[in-house]
Amino acid sequence: MTSVAPAVAPGSASAKQPRVRFAPSPTGFLHVGGARTALFNWLFAKKFGGQFLLRIEDTDRQRSTDESTRAIFEGLEWLGLTWDEEVVYQGANVARHYADAHRLLETGAAYRDFTPAAELDRLRAEAEARGEVFRFDRARVMLSEAEVASKLAANEPFAIRFKVPEGETAWDDLVHERIAFPNKDIEDFVILRSDGTPVYNMAVVSDDIAMRITLVMRGDDHISNTPKQILLYRALGADEPQFGHVPMIHGADGKKLSKRHGATAVGDYQHQGLLPQSMLNFLALLGWSPGDDTEVMTLAELVEKFHVRGLQKKAAVFDTKKLEWMNGQHLAQIPIAELAAIVAPMFERAGLATAADLSARAEWFHGVLELLRVRARLTDEIVAQAGPFFTDTVEYDPDAVSKLWRDANAAAGILQATHDRLASLDAWEPAAMEEALRTLAESLGISGGKIFQPLRVALFGLTVSPGIFDVLLYVGRDRSLARIAAAVQFLKNG
Ligand code: GLU
């Protein structure tokens, strides 16, 4: 990470440290859209020397699960989007949400609504039957003090509703500039249900105040919540934060990204062989642009280039092909030791080598990875193509055999000669091997390819592999010679 002094956050009069948060509801896996919101907040915090906080919005007991909470942690950790303070669990703050709602009741900013839920449902259904939009009517439910006192004495349940004042509610959105809602379009919304539980807007505002959040950056599907939240801040006498609403993510067909479009969970991409930096880079460009043509950026570069001016209003398109391309770019440029650390557990899982073995032979392993990474877009592909470097023997692909060993006798003869030339070399290094084999080809009056192709099948079992001299080098002298000898036997017995 760069160590330059942090920039001053836009909109802040001083170098006040921004505090931002990611506030997922743990009702499923970590969605790529959520990860993108987390990333923008994280980048903002890093860019401006502030704090990135994590709040798990688990007030919906029915739908929240520990498994989702774990998936959120794992996804964020895999991406490296670590949070700066202890995780806040919204469900632990219900007493404060309740107290804040009651404070609004005491100041007259809110009132009790004793209307039974069934009656509201009936009114709503009647309005719909008339083809009208149901409008909540404050005059119908606001009672005199005496009526309230008698209902309270009778222990009748009530919800608390916010009394939306006249006028308009507006803010300067970090992404959309000025957004204004006429208050007449905002009905008196419930802040505390009759069972004493807070609704989303109340819980979020109460928590954002307690966490001293200075910027709320989230998906623009929340824009309609923002005027309600601003009204709550004002009624609670709290400074309102800045708001920024980032665009939705769509699939290639222009519809909101869903499972129909393929994997939408961050964890799925992790297990498909994507590097975290590719995912981050790709997500950053969904709704943000650095303002020039740069596309491939490390996380440190993203922090350096991040600016809210680059946040876009229009929906972003999730293009899986681009994500794979991006991964290929990162695979090619990531420091090799870093790549080794990421793929070592995958090699272990595939049964090719233990992590201890790989670290004992780090130089060799790094060399193998150098050969394979240029041909791969996913880390899985690296592991899938690495087999012949690790196993003692190779399996011959029938296609390769029928194509490149068609004349078994001739192939056996060439391979035997190849074996003998290579065995006579003093040094097992590519330049000497190449020289020896080209001289052999000349003396046999054949092209180099006629030697290299059968050799490739003997060493790799396939028609394609990294450069043949690199293969010889990394398979190693003894194993290479043994494989060529085995191929000669195979062809003679065939
Ligand atoms: N829990 C809400 C969500 O996941 C948070 C919205 C917000 O950031 O205020 O959409």
Q: How far is the CA of 23 from the centre of ligand 1 (A)?
A: 5
| CATH number for the domain whose boundaries are 398-492 | 1.10.10.350
Backbone angles phi, psi at 171, to 5 degrees: -150, 160
Q: Look at ligand 1, atom 5, and give the residue with the nearest C-alpha.
A: 23
List pLDDT tens digits, range 99-110: 999 999 999 999
Specify the pLDDT at position 437. Answer: 97
Q: Is the pLDDT of residue 2 over 70?
A: no
With CA atoms as reference, report the closest residue to 50 among 306, 234, 232. 306
Pocket test for ligand 1, best of 56, 57, 216 (most atoms within 8 A of CB): 57
* 3-state secondary structure (DSSP) of residue 61: coil
- Which atom in ligand 1 lies closest to the alpha carbon of residue 21? 8
Q: Look at ligand 1, atom 4, and give the residue with the nearest C-alpha.
A: 24
Specify the pLDDT at position 346. Answer: 94
Return d(Cα 228, Cα 240) in angstroms, integer: 12
Backbone angles phi, psi at 173, to 5 degrees: -75, 140
- Which atom in ligand 1 lies closest to the alpha carbon of residue 22? 8
pTM across the whole model: 0.88
Q: Is the pLDDT of residue 416 over 50?
A: yes
Specify the pLDDT at position 7. Answer: 64
List pLDDT tens digits, range 146-161: 999 999 999 999 999 9
pLDDT > 70 in the chain, percent: 97
Top-level class of domain 259-331 = mainly alpha
pLDDT band per the 50, 70, 90 thresholds, residue 296 = very high
Q: Look at ligand 1, atom 6, and give the residue with the nearest C-alpha.
A: 23
CB-based burial, 243-268: b 16+ in 10 Å, e otherwise: bbbbbbbbbeeeeebeeebebbbbee
Q: How far is the CA of 24 from the centre of ligand 1 (A)?
A: 5
> In the chain, what are the domain boundaries?
259-331, 334-390, 398-492
List pLDDT tens digits, range 328-385: 999 999 999 999 999 999 999 999 999 999 999 999 999 999 999 998 999 999 999 9
Q: Which of 10-14, 23-27, 237-241, 273-277 has the lowest mean pLDDT?
A: 10-14
Specify the pLDDT at position 11. Answer: 53
pLDDT band per the 50, 70, 90 thresholds, residue 14 = very low
Pocket of ligand 1 from Cβ distances under 6 Å: 23-25, 57, 204, 218, 222
For residues 247 and 314, the answer to whether their CB atoms sit within 8 Å is yes
Pocket test for ligand 1, best of 19, 25, 29, 52 (most atoms within 8 A of CB): 25
